[in-house]
Amino acid sequence: MTKRQPRTSGHLFAEPEAPQSNTEGVYTANIDGAARGNPGPASYGVVLRRPDGKPLESLGKYIGRHTNNVAEYYALIAALDYAATKGIKRLRVQSDSQLIVNQMKGLYKVKHPDLRPLHERAKKQAATLEAFTIQYIPREQNREADAAANAALDNTSGVKPAFGAESPKAVNSARTESRESLSAPRKIRARFRDGVLVPAEPLGYGENEELELTIMRRG
């Protein structure tokens, strides 16, 4: 008699293809990264839902100057960090980045050196869960995560929940982090137009804030 080989799924770890009840305890995280320029000012957004589909948390953070793919990985890692912190053992991640999804599934190689350490970290984090799966969804089905990422990029203030009131502790912590990063010396690019220096990217400083500049002509 010929033995039938067990079927294998496309998931990284064993998990029902489509959970039918809340008792399975599978949380969902929609993730997205945003970068204005490639590279350019970047951020990530994560929207988490409970097993019954009810909103749990929305996260967004400005991460500095990165590519969009790096921002997507930051979003994935943020979702996995949240799961670890809150004791979530079963997680489904939904992303509109085919590159990230297929790299995590092992279908695409990770060639870019900036992505390799992020990919390795995400895989190690995912391996600590009882069940983990990641799937591609169209951009129009990922609007909440996209909105969280873009809100963080607009505000450069760290966290802006899409559901309910903002957490004062989280917002204050993010603002402190933002102020500290803006206080450190930075190297920026600018163009001289009509007697005015015009930065090549948003700087994040307030109106009429006094700055000290060191100017050097390029090339």
Identify the three-state secondary structure at position 209.
Answer: coil
Q: Specify whether the CB–CB gap between 33 and 74 falls below 8 A.
A: yes
What does the pLDDT average to over 159-179?
Answer: 40
CA proximity to 58, closest of 151, 154, 181: 151
Flag the least confident range among 22-26, 73-77, 129-133. 22-26
Flag the least confident range among 53-57, 88-92, 163-167. 163-167
Beta-strand relationship, 27-35 and 90-95: parallel
Considering only residues 110 and 171, tell me which one the structure prediction assigns the higher pLDDT.
110
Considering only residues 107 and 166, tell me which one the structure prediction assigns the higher pLDDT.
107
Is the predicted pLDDT of residue 176 greater than 50, yes or no? Answer: no
Q: Which residues of 31-61 are buried (b: 16+ CB within 10 A; e: fewer)?
A: bbbbbbeebbbbbbbbbbbebeeeebbbbbb
pLDDT value at residue 38: 85
Residue-averaged pLDDT of the chain: 78
pLDDT value at residue 199: 67
What tens digit of pLDDT does each residue of 93-138 get?
999 999 999 999 999 999 999 999 999 999 999 999 999 999 999 9
Cβ-based neighbours of 184, under 8 Å, separated by 6 or more: none
Identify the three-state secondary structure at position 11.
Answer: coil
CA proximity to 45, closest of 69, 67, 76: 76
Per-residue pLDDT band for 6 (boundaries 50, 70, 90) equals: very low
Paired tokens of 146: 């996209």
What does the pLDDT average to over 52-72?
Answer: 96
Complete domains list, the chain, with CATH: 22-183 (3.30.420.10)
pLDDT value at residue 127: 97
What tens digit of pLDDT does each residue of 129-161 get?
999 999 999 999 999 999 999 999 988 744 443
Rounded to whole angstroms, how far apart are CA atoms 170 and 209?
25
| Model confidence, pTM | 0.64
Paired tokens of 155: 């505000």
Per-residue pLDDT band for 16 (boundaries 50, 70, 90) equals: very low
The per-residue DSSP string of 186-205 comes to: ----EEEETTEEEESS---P
Is the predicted pLDDT of residue 9 greater than 80, yes or no? Answer: no
